[in-house]
Structure 1
Amino acid sequence: MSTTLPPPGPGRSAAWATDPYANALRTGRGPLFLRRTDGWLLPLDVERWCGAADATDLSALRRCEGPVIDIGCGPGRLVSALAARGHRALGIDVSEAAVDHTQRLGGSALHRSVFDPLPGEGRWGTALLLDGNIGIGGDPGALLRRTAALLAPGGLLIAETASQDVDEHVRVRLDDGRAPAAAPFPWARLGTPALLRHARRQGWRPADQWESGGRTFVALRLDRAVRAVSQSADRTNSTAVISSQLPRNLSGDIPLAGS
């Protein structure tokens, strides 16, 4: 399939298409890190991402409502698990290797940034930002506004937070310790208190918080009026996504009324 994509938006980085990340997904193992400019390293859990959804993942997936969009789906374990649970689900990722892996598992996925035009905008029941993906773009406010535009009224955002109380906005590089470091890109790390602060500024309200397997999660809902404003603003800056841009295993634009 040939797909013409818009120019990179705030959430797309060429770094995620470089060999260290693609190679890690192909082999199913690291090492792979995000390297901060001061040399600090954040290990990326490639083995877990490439495995099946575990009990901690399922603690989040059990809370999903209606059709689900997995933002930064990686190799697709969550999309696959959601489909097995009867959810209509779509993964999006800026890595072609991740999208290919998801589709090989039988999941629906698109090679897109969350800031690109997407199917079903304003009609998703749940959005996922797990595995550190609350950091996409390095600007939590912009990411929360964009996610609000994707969700239906009363929709749910499930985000994974850092276990520490951090609110960090940095530039990082992908590093596997072997290949030359990729180009830097903006990233954020938020603990639960920081995410709740950012969320309240955007009109979100906490729906749930929990810890499982050493990982921490927050579920948020958005005030309907705020979501409508976010959706309207986003649509003025987006073009329609036509059916020819969708992978063959993606049925229409996924969300169904009342699902």
Structure 2
Amino acid sequence: MSTTVPAWAAAGPYAAALHAGRGPLFLRRADGWLLPLEVERWCARADAVDLAVLDRCEGTVLDVGCGPGRLVAELTARGRTALGIDVSEAAVDHTIRLGGQALRRSVFEPLPGEGRWGTVLLMDGNIGIGGDPAALLERAARLLRPGGLLLAETAAVDVDERVHVHLTDARAAIGSPFPWARLGTAALLRYAYRWERAGQWTAGGRRFVALRGLPVADRTASSSAEPPKRSAVINSQRAANPSGGSPVANR
């Protein structure tokens, strides 16, 4: 299956950063605000905060936007069935070199094991994928088995932002702008009104939310429910530095 790869994912600077294990890389808004990407942490082994999140995983695990694969590799080492997906070929290759399974695929494309995953991970700010949190949560619900678990990392500040950003290495923008979102915990919970809340916590300066998908009977009943009125809160505080059966993988 072919995947439409964003220009930033195929660009040399992004692949080079993953290969070297360090940045700098940033997401840049149109107003010049920069969000540092934590390449060094992503390319390192799963740290204590990561491990505590992985301890909560149930059943088979799908890591959406797996990056260089530290979480998939750790789960695999634990003997868990885990698959990473990422639009970057460099990220997928890195994950496989670490011993994990990964596919170059968008979360919005057909995926192995749809409706059967025990846990979906949206770590490292990946709740922002696609720039539409409601659509991403709906997609995650369809990927999970009934009552499955979503573990998401939220921004370290209270924000609800949907914008277009560039990837940049601080010298030049890479590729075309693409939609992205940043959500704090409160914002994510507003979007997740159809989910059962299963916990929220802070560790190592990072924030997380656990949500449980509805059983099949409850999904049908909730599908006609009207969402609460809400609006995006755009945070332009430049000084802030927020941190952001079994499925089978067939390439």
> Under TM normalisation by the shorter chain, which class is it?
0.7 to 0.9
Q: How far does residue 179 in structure 1 lie from its aligned partner after superposition?
A: 4.4
Aligned to 1:216: 207
- Residues in 1 aligned to 2:218 and 2:13: alpha-carbon distance in whole angstroms: 37
* 1:95-114 Cα distance to aligned partner (Å, 9 max, x none): 00000000001100000000
Structure 2: 5+ residue runs without aligned partners?
A: 221-245
The answer as to 2:64 corresponding to 1:71 is yes
Preserved CA contact (<8 Å) 2:27 2:168: yes
Aligned-residue identity in percent: 67
* Structure 1: distance between partners of 2:180 and 2:66: 17
- Offset from partner CA, 1:123-174 (integer Å, 9 cap, x none): 0000000000000000000000101110001100000000111000000000
Q: Rate the CA distance shift 1:180–1:135 in 2: closer, same or farther, 3 A.
A: closer
| Aligned position for 2:231 | none
Counterpart among 101, 106, 113 of residue 106 in structure 2: 113
Please report the RMSD computed on the Cα atoms of aligned residues, expressed in angstroms.
1.8
The amino acid that maps onto 1:212 is: A
Q: In structure 2, what is the Cα distance between the partners aligned to 1:199 and 1:17? A: 32
Quote the residue 2:73 is aligned against. Answer: 80
> Which residue matches 1:5?
2
Determine whether 1:25 maps to 2:25. Answer: no
| Range that drifts further, 126-135 or 204-213 | 204-213
Q: Which amino acid aligns with 2:180?
A: W
Give runs of aligned pairs for residues 192-211 of structure 1, distance below 5 A.
192-200=185-193, 203-211=194-202
The equivalent position to 2:142 in structure 1, one of 149, 156, 161, is: 149
Are 1:162 and 2:155 matched, yes or no?
yes
Q: Secondary structure at the match of 1:181?
A: strand
* Cα pair distance change 1:205/1:76, threshold 3 Å: same
Matched residue count? 225
Which of 164, 167, 171 is 2:164 aligned to? Answer: 171
Distance (whole Å) between structure 1 residues aligned to residue 158 and residue 16 of structure 2: 32
The one-letter amino acid of 1:5's match is: S
Which residues of 2 match residues 248-259 of structure 1 at below 5 A?
253=248
The C-alpha deviation readout for 1:223-252, integer Å capped at 9, x for no partner, is 1237866xxxxxxxxxxxxxxxxxxxxx97
Code of the residue aligned with 2:33 in structure 1: it is: W
Residue type at the aligned position of 1:204: W
State how far apart, in whole Å, the 1-side matches of 2:41 and 2:118 are.
26
- Output aligned runs, 1:51-66, within 5 Å: 51-66=44-59
Structure-2 change in CA distance of 1:187 and 1:194 (3 Å): same
The answer to whether the Cα contact below 8 Å between 1:15 and 1:185 also exists between their aligned partners in 2 is: no
Q: Secondary structure, in 3 states, of the residue corresponding to 1:207?
A: strand
TM-score by length of 2: 0.85
- The equivalent position to 1:124 in structure 2, one of 105, 117, 129, is 117
CA distance in 2, matches of 1:226, 1:18: 45
* 2:175 paired with 1:182: yes
By how many angstroms is 1:181 displaced?
3.1
Distance between the aligned counterparts of 1:5 and 1:121, measured in 2? 18
Distance in 2 of aligned mates of 1:62 and 1:196? 22
Secondary structure of 2:145 counterpart: strand
- Alignment of 1:102 with 2:95, yes or no, is yes
Query: How many angstroms apart in 2 are the aligned matches of 1:61 and 1:149?
Result: 21
Cα separation, partners in 2 of 1:149 and 1:196, compared to 1, 3 Å? same
CA deviations over 1:53-110 (Å, ceiling 9, x no partner): 0001011100000000000000000000111222100000000000000000110000
